[in-house]
Amino acid sequence: MLNRQGRPTSLRAVADEPAVSGAAGGERPPVGRSDPDGSILAARPTFTGNRALAQEEALLFEIGRPETTGVDIEEPEPFETRLGGLERKAAIGLPGLSEPETMRHYVRLSQQNYGIDTGLFPLGSCTMKHNARLNERMARLPGFGDIHPLQPVSTVQGALGLMSELARYLTTLTGMPAVALQPKAGAHGELLGMMAIKAAIAAKGEGETRTTVLVPESAHGTNPATAALLGFKVKSVPAQDDGWVHLADVLPLLGPDVAAIMLTNPNTCGLFEPRATEIAEALHAVGAYFYCDGANFNAIVGKVRPGDLGVDAMHINLHKTFSTPHGGGGPGAGPVVLSDRLAPFAPVPFVRANGDAFELVEDAENPDAVGRMTAFHGQMGMFVRALAYMLSHGADGMRQASEDAVLNANYVRACLSDLMSLPFGDKPCMHEVLFDDAWLKDTGVTTLDFAKAMIDEGYHPMTVYFPLVVHGAMLIEPTESESKASLDLFVASLRDLAMAARNGDTARFTGAPYHAPRRRLDETRAARHPILRWTPPSPVPAQAAE
Ligand SMILES: *Cc1c(COP(=O)(O)O)cnc(C)c1O
């Protein structure tokens, strides 16, 4: 069936050929898929700004009226103010809306956002996977959701018990003796891990000499940023053509000035670092530490214990590996596991079992420890979600989740590798597959154009232009929570786009997205000349002015 724009309504019918057996239903696609009308129709403005049932929505301050309110509050009796003349002289000017208007405003805004609950979200390195609703229910149990960090310890024994249990799971899964739960994101965990390393070095009296941190070129930007923030000099370990970090590139950089290496494993090229153990041994031999960026732990849970690789500190992104939601500034949690050498430098507070009860240790026993990272104990809601994920999966289920994540990424790789180019040859990947833009050469289509065209197909783009070591990188992480059917539809869509790019249908790409609420944005201008202040479109009514 064709829609108004002559596009087949089912993506299953448009793949140029079956991606793999059964992937695209086997139908021969219609030829001449290019769609000059589509862009014109899509670009035609409507009177309301709406697009069919996708509602345009203005800012709250543009639609709200200060005189409107969803609640009736009685005028207070005349009273004597005690603010000594500091009280506001004019109305506050908050935008008022009726209750239905308020509801529509926020629901419409939410519809302009794409989330894992809307569709497949292939953002590499970010692990956008399904959040089981069970975990949400557990986090909302009043005994976890409605407690306060300053409550007497005797009234939150269950919550402390949960933190203790989560710590036991994390240390068991990683094969590491200690964990600090407080960090509120992966980058925050990196900071803590490197602070622990810095504290250990200072305690040995080497603070003045060990000032260099080695960071492979393929690292996440947060790694060199963390090292620099703590005053370390950052030295790059060069990238190699096979996507791996080579021992031979690390050895010449080692000396008495090296504090640590920050190595991501599996790395940001989606590959397991086969030399991790030898790299760890080489660092330990010169008195340095091995920091592992464990944000991609989701690929190896139940398969590899980082402690066995010689890791000294590693953050775990609970919000990636253990399904708790993230993105858009949502809460994260980046617990850090520590080796025996670093455990004495762990921050306070931490939970300790004392007979049948749990206590909070608020004062560090070691004066050289890093102290306090956050005001309280970390992201309680994320701890509950992560433990719920672990308990509902069990040891075998967690291992299978890792295996399925790797299987799904390799399925996508196998289905696309005849059309799109793989920078490191056709070797298996871990939980994410990395393509480069060599296959787009001379098509007039860039990685950015391709990503934007995916939006028209109803997909959030994959991670693009990261890692930097690959030209025009496209990093796809499907995660284990996608079914084969949803992967097949995704693959068919990408194959259709890839064929269009190769067949010279550049118009489908260079102006994309055509169908999104907002068209292509000038991202450079937005970054260089951001407009950070909203100014009223017309003179503000007198009573709304301050
Ligand atoms: C996500 C990620 C980080 C940072 O984690 P945040 O929680 O976003 O701070 C660091 N390294 C890698 C490899 C990542 O994928």
Q: Taking a C-beta distance cutoff of 8 angstroms, is the pair 494, 431 a contact?
A: no
Q: What is the mean pLDDT of residues 445-469?
A: 96
The rounded Å distance from CA 486 to ligand 1 centre is 26
Cα 181 from Cα 174, distance rounded (Å): 14
Rounded distance between C-alpha atoms, residue 23 and residue 7, angstroms: 20
- The DSSP result for 441-465, as a single string, is TTTT--HHHHHHHHHHTT----EES
**Ligand 1 mean position, distance from CA 295 (Å):** 5
Distances (CA, A) of 11 to 4, 31, 122, 232, 416: 15, 14, 18, 51, 16
Residue 320 CA: nearest ligand 1 atom is: 1
Residue 454 has pLDDT above 60, yes or no: yes
**pLDDT of 403:** 98
Q: Which of 121, 123, 125 most suits a substitution to test ligand 1, by most atoms within 8 Å of the C-beta?
A: 125
In tens, the pLDDT along 482-528 reads 999 999 999 999 999 999 999 999 999 999 999 888 889 898 999 99
Neighbouring residues of 496: CB distance < 8 A, sequence distance ≥ 6: 11, 14, 15, 16, 29, 33, 457
Task: Give the residue from 172, 200, 163 showing the smallest Cα distance to 344.
Answer: 200
**113-172 per-position pLDDT tens digit:** 888 889 999 999 999 999 999 999 999 999 999 999 999 999 999 999 999 999 999 999
Q: Identify the residue whose C-alpha is closest to ligand 1 atom 8.
A: 186
- What are the chain's domains? 135-144+154-391 (3.40.640.10), 396-528 (3.90.1150.10)
Q: How many CA atoms lie within 13 A of 229 on its CB side?
A: 14
pTM for the whole thing? 0.87
Ligand 1 atom closest to Cα of residue 185: 7
220, 226, 292, best to mutate for ligand 1 pocket (most atoms within 8 Å of CB): 220
Pocket of ligand 1 (CB under 6 A): 125, 185-187, 220, 222, 264, 268, 293, 295-296, 317, 332, 334
Tell me what the mean pLDDT of segment 95-110 comes to. Answer: 92
Give the pLDDT confidence score for residue 539 in this predicted structure.
62
Residue 537 pLDDT: 67
Residue 326 CA, closest ligand 1 atom number: 7
Distance 319 CA to ligand 1 centre (A): 10
Q: Is pLDDT above 50 for 13?
A: no
Residue 327: the pLDDT is: 63
Quick count: other Cβ atoms within 10 Å of Cβ 164? 15
CB under 8 Å to 209, separation ≥6 — which residues? 256, 257
Q: Do you find a cis peptide bond into 467, omega within 30 degrees of 0? A: yes
Strand locations in 64-193 (E): 178-180
Q: What percent of the chain has pLDDT over 90?
A: 74
**Nearest atom of ligand 1 to the alpha carbon of 125:** 15
The C-alpha atoms of residue 412 and residue 486 are separated, in whole angstroms, by 11
How far is the CA of 523 from the CAs of 57, 186, 224, in angstroms?
21, 26, 24
